[in-house]
Amino acid sequence: MPPTTRFAPSPTGLLHLGHAFAALTAWRRAREAGGRFLLRLEDIDTGRCRPDYAAAILEDLAWLGLDWDGEVRVQSEHLAEYRAVLDRLAARGLLYPCFCTRAEIAREVSAAAAAPHGPDGPRYPGTCRRLSADERAARLAAGVPHALRLDMAAALEVVGETLTVHEEGEGTVRCDPAAFGDVVLGRKDIPASYHLCVTHDDAVQGVTLVTRGADLRPATAVHRVLQALFGWPTPSYAHHDLRRDADGQRLAKRTGAQSLRTLRAAGIAAADIRAQLLA
């Protein structure tokens, strides 16, 4: 079956060559095999995402010569779906409200003799998982802001088997979701999170091959748990190296990576960028 791939940027800034490489990789994998290439805007972080960046992304991709199939999926338009998924997990007893602030978590982690680290940083110590039912109910009734965390141990027990994914070039690899601990699936400000939305959307959009930067590879383990819990199909994964500048730094806005717009304004042709990135 020809693959369905996707490029799923967050509109928090202008695209640079690293994004262009990720987009071209996904696009080429679909196009060379007669598959489908989808575009999705991951804009649930309302504090950082901006509509003008979203518009710029579409324009820059078109300038690069990329075409996508179907409508662009915009995550902020699907919050009710994410809420429904959270409700299903809650009904299975796999979610709990977490009232901790970042500062409280940092304090608790630094006070712990051995604070385990996961791929995302210090693992959440599980403070709110241990709240009594009364305490939890009281805080909810008082309207204390809360996130929703997956009870990872309980989830893995429900799954009941070692999870694996197919990583291109490597074959079947084992996942280690427990290393992440109780990840946030519903943020305090919005009933959604990166892990939840990306996994849900890849499933509902029928993505069969996820190409993305190697920085997101560890997160695949969390996505695999959600796929197992919901019976969603598991795509194949092909994580690619990140583009780096001459000093070996990852391309990123904060390290001064030039945007596609800057390159375009300087007279660089899209064809040259494509040739350079796809070489």
Per DSSP, the residues of 174-206 read E--GGGG-S-EEE-SSSS--HHHHHHHHHHHTT
Tokens 């350079």 found at: 276
The window from 7-15, 117-125, 131-139, 159-167 that contacts ligand GLU (CB under 6 A) reads: 7-15
From residue 113 to residue 152, what is the string marking binding to ligand GLU with x (rule CB under 6 A)? ----------------------------------------
Minimum CB separation from ligand GLU for residue 18, in Å? 10
Give the one residue of 10, 25, 76, 193 binding ligand GLU; rule: CB under 6 A: 10
Question: What are the beta bridge partners of residue 212?
Answer: 239
Per DSSP, the residues of 11-58 read SSS--BHHHHHHHHHHHHHHHHTT-EEEEEE----TTT--HHHHHHHH
Minimum CB separation from ligand GLU for residue 78, in Å? 14
Give the one residue of 3, 4, 5, 9 binding ligand GLU; rule: CB under 6 A: 9
What's the token pair of residue 68? 């996508």
Is 11 near ligand GLU (CB under 6 A)? no
Minimum CB separation from ligand GLU for residue 176, in Å? 18
The window from 3-11, 86-94, 126-134, 261-269 that contacts ligand GLU (CB under 6 A) reads: 3-11
Q: Give Cα separations from 91 to 87, 229, 276 (angstroms).
A: 6, 13, 50
Minimum CB separation from ligand GLU for residue 216, in Å? 5
Angle between helices 194-204 and 79-91 (to 10 degrees): 100
Minimum CB separation from ligand GLU for residue 187, in Å? 15
Output DSSP code: residue 269.
-
Minimum CB separation from ligand GLU for residue 10, in Å? 4
Q: Cβ of 77: how many Cβ atoms within 10 Å?
A: 10
Residues 175-234 that bind ligand GLU (CB under 6 A): 198, 212, 216
Whose Cβ is closer to ligand GLU: residue 100's or residue 175's?
A: 175
Q: Give Cα separations from 265 to 17, 60, 62, 259, 261 (angstroms).
A: 14, 12, 16, 10, 6
Is 8 near ligand GLU (CB under 6 A)? yes
Determine the Cα–Cα distance for residues 94 and 264; give it in Å rounded to an integer.
48
Whose Cβ is closer to ligand GLU: residue 8's or residue 100's?
A: 8
Q: Cβ of 67: how many Cβ atoms within 10 Å?
A: 10
Determine the Cα–Cα distance for residues 197 and 43; give it in Å rounded to an integer.
10
Whose Cβ is closer to ligand GLU: residue 40's or residue 129's?
A: 40
Is 43 near ligand GLU (CB under 6 A)? no
Q: Give Cα separations from 159 to 40, 85, 177, 228, 278 (angstroms).
A: 29, 17, 12, 6, 40
Number of shown-chain residues binding ligand GLU (CB under 6 A): 7
The window from 4-12, 56-64, 182-190, 270-278 that contacts ligand GLU (CB under 6 A) reads: 4-12
Site for ligand GLU, rule CB under 6 A:
8-10, 42, 198, 212, 216
